[in-house]
Amino acid sequence: MMENIRKKLEGREMLVFSITTVLFLFAAAFLLAAPKDLARGMVIIVLTRDALVTDYFELAGFGAAFLNAGLVMGLAILLIRLQKIPFTGLTMAVLFINAGFALFGKNPVNILPMLFGTWLYARFHRTGMNRYIYTALFGSCLAPMVTELVYLLPFSFPVNLGIAILTGILSGFVLPPLSVHTASMHMGYNLFNMGFAGGLFAFVMMCVLQSFGLESNSVFIWSYGRPLWLLAGLYLYFTATLLFGLFLNRGSLRSFLHLMRHPGRAVTDFVLMEGVPASLVNMGLIGLLCTTYILLIGGDLSGPVVGAILTAFGFAAFGVHIRNYLPVLSGVFLSTIFTHMLPTTPGIQMGAVSAVGLAPVAGQFGIPAGIIAGMLHGAVVVCTSSLYGGLNLYNNGFSTGLIAIVLVPTLESFIKGFQIKKEQKKRQ
């Protein structure tokens, strides 16, 4: 019987897993709130400012937040399926970053202008949308810009809305070439490349707005505490993911152990390189690790924190594993010992989990480099959001991009210097 199930799932494991996750989110939504409350909550989510940090748990309730996450993730699955793209590790990364950020900033309405802008870019270059679908979905990090301009501009509502939509379309059109350039800047050592590209675009837009006497300010809406049912749900979901991977691999951990040998530098697609079972096991372990870390430090299972955990969970199929993530996580924690910040500071909680973006640094250069990268991330991430008024949801991606650009050449220079000295000693 078990063998028959494996055969039926063969080649469709990640698709089935993704759809099951969406159904799980919908089920959670309807268990937590009545339909009328869900409808009211969705209206609040769509019409409210979405600048970083806007916690949908606190703003609209748990039920509406999970419903929104299910809708955004479901839309992403639909678009990927329409383009007939196979489900790989990159697919998991893009699906779960969208599900995660749909708990604090994204909704099915404010992401549409960016998606349309990228479609126009594909049409302009006479190429298929399948080439840019991942860029479009990652690029929805600028979704707050749409709702922010509606409320920020001094014109009538229809004019404000029109300008906001056009700006969103512009961002979707600009991000594809910009993201290619930023990827070359950090050389694949920042897994959140679109966060860096989006941050640069948002910074430019912020400067333009300020030149007209307009200014977007960051928001801070945050739900405190760790509801027991939510904690149990996360542990259950991540454990089920791990067990599903073991089931598909007939209990073997060989491919998973091989997976952890990879440095993780982009592009490292674990699904293509090591298979679905190993990737699922790794995803489950990373999810459990991140959740346990938040529990141990006494952090909050807020929308942003749960969103960051889901993001790390997705990227565990695309470059992140325990060996290259733990040093960076340790670095973020250590940064709180030597500074005035606390591990429970909201920005540091998100930063610690989202430090997965710098995992390739530890994977390539070793544990000390990973710790340094994490410590720098803990210091930088709390400063960057103010640069663009919370208009870029992937603030951690912008921070990790800056750190990678500064740190990686420095590390390479030191390594090259040591190698030269070593060769000189051999010749003597």
What is the per-residue pLDDT across 336-375, written as a single tens digit (0 to 9) for each?
A: 998 889 999 999 999 999 999 999 999 999 999 999 999 9
Domain that holds residue 204: 9-211
| Distance separating alpha carbons of residues 277 and 243, to the nearest angstrom | 9
Q: Token pair for residue 325? A: 């993530």
- pLDDT of 110 over the 80 cut: yes
Residue written as token pair 């870029």: 392
| Domain stops at, among 211, 239, 270 | 211
**Confidence bin at 428 (pLDDT 50/70/90):** low
Of 10-14, 364-368, 400-404, the poorest mean pLDDT is in 10-14
Across 49-53, 159-163, 213-217, 420-424, least confident range: 420-424
Assign 49 a pLDDT band (cuts: 50, 70, 90): confident
Structure tokens at 164: 């906001």
The residue-averaged pLDDT of 230-254 equals 95
- Residue 239 and residue 199 share a domain: no
Identify the three-state secondary structure at position 3.
helix
Confidence band of 309 (pLDDT split at 50, 70, 90): very high
In angstroms, the Cα distances linking 61 to 42, 71, 169, 222 are 10, 16, 30, 12
φ and ψ at residue 305, rounded to 5 degrees: -70, -45
Dig out the tokens for 7 from the structure.
């055969």
Q: What percent of the chain has pLDDT over 90?
A: 84
Tokens of 169: 């379309």
State whether 164 and 15 are in the same domain: yes
> Is 223 inside any structural domain?
no
Q: Which of 2, 15, 24, 7 is nearest to 280 (CA)?
A: 15
Same domain, 200 and 250: no
Alpha carbons 64 and 72: distance in angstroms, whole number: 12
Cross-strand partners of 54: 221
**What pLDDT is recorded for position 266?**
86
**421 has pLDDT over 80:** no
Whether residues 374 and 404 fall in one domain: yes
Q: What is the tally of structural domains in the chain?
A: 2
In-domain check, residue 285: yes
Q: The tokens of 124 are what?
A: 């302009």
Residue 349 in any domain: the answer is yes
d(CA 102, CA 108): 9
Residue 1 domain-assigned? no
Residues 331 and 236 in one domain: yes
Q: pLDDT category, 388, cuts 50, 70, 90?
A: confident
- Please give the Cα distance from 58 to 221 (Å, whole number): 7
Question: 2 lies in a domain?
Answer: no
Using only the alpha carbons of the chain, give its radius of gyration.
21
Both 257 and 347 in a single domain? yes
pLDDT of residue 180: 93
If you average pLDDT over every residue of the chain, what do you get? 93
Please determine, for residue 417, whether its predicted confidence score (pLDDT) is greater than 80: no
Please tell me whether residues 153 and 232 are part of one structural domain.
no
Question: Is 314 within 8 Å of 95 (Cβ atoms)?
Answer: yes
